[in-house]
Structure 1
C-alpha cells in the first residue's frame, strides 16, 4: 500500500508520548482527570459546608457535560457518546475529528472559565488539606490552559476556514508563544479574581467582567455591526471572552462570514483589561472595615487589612520558611570503617524549620493563598506589558488589520490536512475490508 505523504509542518495525531506528555490518549486522560478534579473540588466545598460553591461548580459541570454528551451522540459517526472510540477515530485518520474538537470546545468555553473562577476564590476562604490545596491549584492551571486553547481556537475559526493545527503547521513558534501568553493571561485573570474577591467581594469584582462584555459590544458597535448588543450579552455568558476581549486577535481579522460582533478594533476591550486590574488593585489597598455598603455580606471587612491577613502575611510566612529551609539545610556524612569495608552514613536535616502557617490558616491554605498572590503579582504585570506591546506593534490586535497572506497560507494548509485525513480514512477502510476478506 502506498505511503500517504504528511503535509509539511503538520504533526499527525498520535497515541501517546512520554516526553513531553502528549498524544490523543493523554489528552483524553487529562479530559477525564479534569472532570474528576471538579468532583474533588465539589467534595471539598461540601465537606466545609459551602453549598453555594459546590452547587455552582456542579451546575457548570452539568451545563458543559450534558450538551456535550447529546452533541457527540448526534454528530459522531459512532452515533454514541464514546470519547475513547472518538480518540481512536482521530488516531486512524491522523487528524482530530470535528466531534472531538466540539467535545473540547464545551470544556474550554463553559466549564473551564466557571470552575476556574469559583474554585480558587472559594478555596482561598477555607482551611485546606494538602490534597485539597493541590486539587484547587491544579484546577486553576487546567482552567487557564483550557481557556487559552479555546481563545486560540475561536480566533482561528473566526478568522479563517481552518483549525488551530493548520496554524501550528505554518507558524509553529508564534503559535506556541501565543499559547503560552494566553495561558499566563488567563492564569493571571483567575488568580487576580480570587485574590480581589477574597479581599473585597465577588459582587465588587464581577462588574469588571461586565465592563469587558460591554467593551466587546462597544468595539462591535464602533465597527458598525448591528449585532453589538447580542455580542455583549454573549460575552456576559462566556466570561472568557470578557476577560481577554473578543476582538483582541493576534493572527487574523475576523472573516466576512464571522458573527458581526466579532468585528471591531481590539484596543477597546484591551483598555478594559487595564481598567479592571487597576481598579481591583486600588480597591484592595483601601481600608474598608465596614465594607462598601451596609447590605448583607457587602458590609464585611474589606481592603488592606483583609489583604494583609489572607495573603500578605501567609506570603511572608512562606518566604520565611523557604529562607529557613535553605539556610538550615545540611547533610552530615560520617565514615564508618571496619576490618573489611568502609561505608558512608548520610543524615539529612532542616534544623528547627517547619511548614508555614499564619493566624487561622492551615499550612496548606497558607501555601495556597501565597501561590494565588504570587500568580497575581507576577503574571498580571507581565500580561499588561504584553498587551501594551500588542497595541503598539500588532495592528491586527489593535485595529483589526488584514493579514491576507497568512490567511491564504493557513487555509491552503488546512486543505492539505483535510486531503491527508481523507486518504488515511480510505486506507483504513481498505485495510478493514482486507481483514474481513481474510477472515
Structure 2
C-alpha cells in the first residue's frame, strides 16, 4: 500500500492524486479552478484534461465578443456546440456514473478512491474532445480574425485554439487505443511512455495546424471554400473503409462528418494500433487514402490563397467579397511584418539605466527600463491586439502545417500501420495486459475504500 492509501500502482502507471504542488495539479486543484483556468492542471502526469464545463468562462468571453460585434452567426454556432456538449455531458454522467447523477465533486472523489478515472469521467471528457473542441476551435479563431479585438479577447481566442488542439489530441490518443485494443490511453502511456508522449505532441501540433490553417484560409477565402476539405476528408475515410471491404463504409463517412477530428486526421490513420474491425464499424482499410487527402487539403488551401479573386467566387452575399492573395497580404502578411518589426525594435532598443543614489547612511540603485521609440504593432485598420492575434495565427499555420505534412509523408513511407493498416500484435497484447493491471488496481482500491467506510461506521 502506498503512502496515499492506495494499493501499489502497476509499473509505469501514475494514479490519480488529490493535489500536487510542483507543478500545481491534482483532481481537487482542477475542481477549484475549473471555471477560470481550464485544462491548466492534470490529475496526474498521465491524466487527461478536465471536462468541458471547466472552460465555460473562456467560451462566454468569446461568445460575448461575437455578440458585441453583432456577429450573431458565430455566437449562435458556439452556443450550440457548448450547450449541446454540456447537455450530453450531464446526461452521459447520469447514465454511466455509479452515483447515477451529475456530480463533479462526487465523481472526482470516486476517481481519487480508485486511483483511476471512472468511465463516467472519461465519457465526460469525450464529449468535449469529440464535439465541443473541434467546433469551437474552428469557429472561434476564424471569427476572431475578422474582428477588432481587445487584448483580453485576443488572448481568449488564442487560448481557445490551444485548448481545443490539446483536447482533440488527447481524444485522438484515447480513440487510437480504444479502437485498436481493449484498453485506454493510460495503458499505452504505461508501456510506451516516450512513444506515447511523442505521439501526443504530434497530434497536438497537427490539430493546432488544422485550426490555425483553417482560420487563415477561411479569412483569406471563405468557409464555403474551406469546409468542403473536411467533408471530402470524411469521404476519404469512407473510401478507405470501402477499399478494406467494410460494409459500413457509409457509416464511416457519416461518423467523420459528425466527428470533425476524424475528418481532419483520418479514421484509419493510426500510428501504433490499427482499428479493430470487430469493434469499430468501418474502421478497416488503408490509412494512405485519408492521409493523401490531408496533404491535398493543405495544398489546395494554399494554392487558393495565392490566387487573386477581387470579386470573390459568386455574386451572392459574402461570396462576392474580395478573396485571395490581396486579402492574405492585408490580414496576415502585413500584420506579421509589423509584429516582427516591433519585436526587432524592442530587442534592439532595450536598455536599462542604473544610477546610484547615496545619503548619509546608505547607497541605493535606481533602475529605469526603456524601449526607445518602439510601440505596439498595428497594421492598416487592425488594432494592436488584432494585429498580434492574426500574426500568431499566420505564424502557427506557416510553421505547423508544413511540419505536419512532412510527418504525414514520413508516416506513409515508414509506418505500415499508418499507411496500410498492418497489425502490431505484440504491442496490442502488452497494452491490454497493462490495462487489466490498471483495472485490477482500481478494483482493489474500491474494495479497500469500501471496507474502510464500513469499519468507520462501527461503534467504538
TM range (shorter): over 0.9
Which residue matches 1:25? 28
Question: How far off its partner does 1:337 sit?
Answer: 2.1
Once the 2 structures are TM-superposed, how far is the Cα of residue 27 of structure 1 from its aligned partner? 4.8
SS at match of 2:357: strand
The answer on 1:16 being equivalent to 2:19 is: yes
Task: Tell me how far apart the structure 1 counterparts of residues 309 and 175 of structure 2 sit (CA, whole Å).
Answer: 41
Cα distance in structure 1, aligned partners of 2:115 and 2:29: 15
2:233 is the counterpart of 1:212? yes
- Structure 1 range deviating more: 82-91 or 255-264: 255-264
Alignment CA distance shift 1:20-1:392 (3 Å)? farther
**1:398 is the counterpart of 2:419:** yes
Alignment of 1:108-119 (within 5 A): 108-119=129-140
Q: Does the aligned pair in 1 maintain the 2:244–2:285 contact within 8 Å?
A: yes
Quote how far apart the aligned CAs of 1:13 are: 0.9
Among candidates 132, 142, 145, match of residue 121 of structure 1: 142
Question: Residues 291 and 299 of structure 1 are in contact (CA less than 8 Å); yes or no, is this contact kept in structure 2?
Answer: yes
Instruction: Tell me the equivalent position of 1:54.
Output: 75
Structure 2: stretches of 5+ with no match in the other structure:
39-50
Against the structure 1 CA distance between its residues 176 and 20, is the aligned structure 2 distance closer, same or farther, given a 3 Å change threshold?
farther
CA separation in 2, counterparts of 1:424 and 1:162? 19
- Alpha carbons 2:251, 2:281 under 8 Å: kept: no
The residue aligned with 1:433 is 454
SS of 1:346's equivalent in the other structure is strand
Measured after TM superposition, the shift of residue 393 of structure 1 is 1.1
The corresponding residue for 2:348 is 327
TM-score (norm. length: structure 2): 0.93
Aligned to 2:198, the other structure's residue is in SS state helix
For each residue in 1:44-64, what CA deviation from the matched residue of structure 2 results, as whole angstroms up to 9, or x when unmatched? 101111100000000011121
Partner of 2:272: 251
Q: Match of 1:195? A: 216
2:276 and 2:283 in contact (8 A); partners too: no
2:395 alignment partner, one of 371, 374, 395: 374
Larger proportion of helix? 1
Partner secondary structure for residue 457 of structure 2:
helix
Q: 1:410 maps to which residue?
A: 431
1:48-82 CA distance string (max 9 Å, x none): 11100000000011121111101111221111101
1-structure distance, mates of 2:253, 2:311: 33
Looking at structure 2, the residues matched to 22 and 108 of structure 1 have their Cα atoms a distance apart, in angstroms, of: 20
Q: What CA distance in whole angstroms lies between the structure 2 residues aligned with 1:129 and 1:5?
A: 50
Q: Separation in 2 of the partners of 1:87 and 1:109?
A: 21
Task: Work out which of the residue numbers 83, 86, 89 in structure 1 matches 2:104.
Answer: 83
Q: Name the CA distance, whole Å, in 1 between partners of 2:315 and 2:231.
A: 23
2:201 to 180, 204, 219: 180
Pairing partner for 1:297 from 315, 318, 323? 318
Q: Does 1:272 align with 2:275?
A: no
Give the conservation status (yes or no) of the 8 Å contact 1:86–1:100: yes
More deviation, 34-43/422-431: 34-43
Determine whether 1:336 maps to 2:357.
Answer: yes
Q: After TM superposition, give the deviation of residue 253 of structure 1 in Å.
A: 1.4
Distance 1:150 1:338 in 2: 64
Structure 1 alignment gaps of length 5 or more = none
Q: What's the C-alpha RMSD, in Å, of the aligned pairs?
A: 1.3
1:85 Cα deviation (Å)?
1.2
2:44 is matched with which residue? none
1:232 maps to 2:232: no
Q: Check the 8 A contact 1:161/1:411 in 2, yes or no.
A: yes
> How many pairs does the alignment contain?
439
Deviation at residue 402 of structure 1 after TM alignment: 0.4
Contact in 2 for aligned 1:220/1:260 (Cα 8 Å): no
Shift of 1:25: 3.4
State the shift of 1:258 in Å. 2.1
Tell me how far 1:22 sits from its aligned partner.
3.4
TM-score, normalization: structure 1? Answer: 0.98
Q: 1:130 to 1:334 in 2, by over 3 A?
A: same
The structure 1 segments of at least 4 consecutive aligned residues displaced by more than 6 Å after TM superposition are none
- Equivalent position of 1:385 in the other structure: 406
**SS, match of residue 81 in structure 1:** coil
Q: Contact 1:212/1:245 (CA < 8 Å) preserved in 2?
A: yes
The CA distance in 2 between the partners of 1:61 and 1:354, in whole Å, is: 38
Shift of 1:256: 3.7
Larger displacement relative to structure 2 (105-114 or 29-38): 29-38
Within 5 Å, give how 1:141-180 maps onto structure 2. 141-180=162-201
* Structure 1: distance between partners of 2:428 and 2:235: 29
Is 2:311–2:321's contact at 8 Å kept on the other side of the alignment? yes
Q: Over residues 188-234 of structure 1, what are the superposed CA-to-partner deviations in whole Å (9 max), with x where a residue is unaligned?
A: 00000000000000000001101100100000000000110111111
Say which is worse superposed, 403-412 or 429-438, in terms of deviation. 429-438
